[in-house]
Each structure stands twice: as C-alpha cells, then as structure tokens.
Amino acid sequence: MSVEGRFAGRFGGFAVDAAFALAPKGITALSGPSGSGKTTLLRCIAGLARVSGELYVGGEVWQDGRTFLAPHRRPVGVVFQEASLLGHLSVRGNLDYGARRVKGAPEIGFDDAVDLLGLAPLLGRGVANLSGGERQRVALGRALLSQPRLLLMDEPLSSLDAGAKAEILPYLERLHRSLAIPALYISHDAGEIARLADKVIYMREGRIVPGEAEPTLEGVDAATRDRLALAALRAGLSV
C-alpha cells in the first residue's frame, strides 16, 4: 500500500518542507538529528498537527488542498516516545480502547497481538506499575489492535534503558516479520535501524534529504582500492 505525501509550512519558528514516500510494506526508518522535524512529520501524518500539504494513503486522500481527515478518522496506529498508556484503564482496557471502536471484523486478533507481544501475564494489571519495556509493549499492542493501515512509531525505545531495549527488540523484529502494513519508525540509533528497517529516509532542518549512506567500495577500481587500503594501513600504523 502506497503512502506518500508532502508537508510544507511553519510551526512557530520552525519550517517544514518534506516530501516523502514510505516502503509499501514493512518498516521505513526516519532518521536525522534531533530537532530536524521527525516527530513533526509523524504528527502531520497522524493528523495531530496541521500544516498545508498532501497525504495519500493507499489511494485515499487523507489531506490535500480541500480535505483534512480528523485524526480519529485516520486508520493509523501511533506509538509515542513515552508509552502514554491511559492511567484509568487496566492493560486489557488499554488494549480494548481502540479495538472496540473499529467497525467490521478485525484483521489483527486480540489473541494474536497478545501472543506476538507476550502480553498474556499483564492483561489484568493496572498500568501504573509496569516496567518501561512492558509499557511500550502494551502501547504497541494497543496500536495494532486499532487495526491500523499505517503504523507510526516515534522512537519507541528511546526512553528505555539498555536492558529494556534488549528485551523489546526481539518483539519488534517479530512484528516486522509478520507486519502486512507500512510502518514509519523514527530512530537515530543505527543499530535499531539496521535490525528493523527495510528503507531509510533522512531528515535535516525540516527537509527530507538524500541518504547518508555508508561509503562503500562498490564501483571503485582495483588500483584505487589498493591505494586506499595502503593509506588506511599506514594511518593505522602511525598512531
């Protein structure tokens, strides 16, 4: 399913002018320095922030010159940086909140999501005394159960310590393998991106910029490659 769009406008003193397309299936990582507008772009896609622009998802218009779909009418699942669980509901209540509001038969079943994310032991608990990793798993399950056609994740691991990150990454990899919809995953952690992303786009100062791909030796002729290797060797020896 195609997801493409362009947003151009100002938020206070910050200018955005970003044209983008996501991988039709699987995870597109959005990377870039902090303050480059990654979260703003995600909020525009979810409809939580509004600037002029266009957004087309699977042939449907979510935003153009005349249309602006309200956030609750967009089938997106959003995982925020902080899990943002609803404190007055249990884990099950949080998972059900979006699920109950979806019309028609669900594509992602309750038990499937619970199995995928290992939520079964948490279901009856309140959300106040979950660990950071558990909270993000519930937030992810909650987003999936709202039957999104597009999944948006805003640095879901950045507020976690190394242990919790290591605990949740395998779940994200499993999700990645079974995910039939496009997803946008904001991160500036090269390791996470390498493990999860099918495509990477970069943002700088409110714009999508060409990739900061690792330099490779592809297309370099043999003589140059030898000289580079020798130079690297000498540099290594002299320090």
Name the residues that contact other proteins, by CB under 8 A: 46-48, 70-78, 80, 82-88, 97-98, 101-102, 126-128, 135, 142-143, 146
d(CA 213, CA 87): 42
d(CA 53, CA 18): 9
In the complex with other proteins, which residue's Cβ is closer, 76 or 201?
76
CB of 67 to other proteins, least distance (A): 17
In the complex with other proteins, which residue's Cβ is closer, 86 or 233?
86
**CB 127 within 8 Å of CB 90:** yes
d(CA 210, CA 200): 10
In the complex with other proteins, which residue's Cβ is closer, 74 or 165?
74
Residue in the structure block whose two tokens are 């970003």: 18
CB of 82 to other proteins, least distance (A): 6
CB of 191 to other proteins, least distance (A): 26
In the complex with other proteins, which residue's Cβ is closer, 160 or 200?
160
- Give every CB contact of residue 181 below 8 A, 6+ residues apart in sequence: 1, 25, 148, 149, 150, 151
CB of 235 to other proteins, least distance (A): 49
In the complex with other proteins, which residue's Cβ is closer, 54 or 82?
82
CB of 130 to other proteins, least distance (A): 10
Phi, psi of 44 (to 5 degrees): -65, -40
Residue 135, helix vs strand vs coil: helix
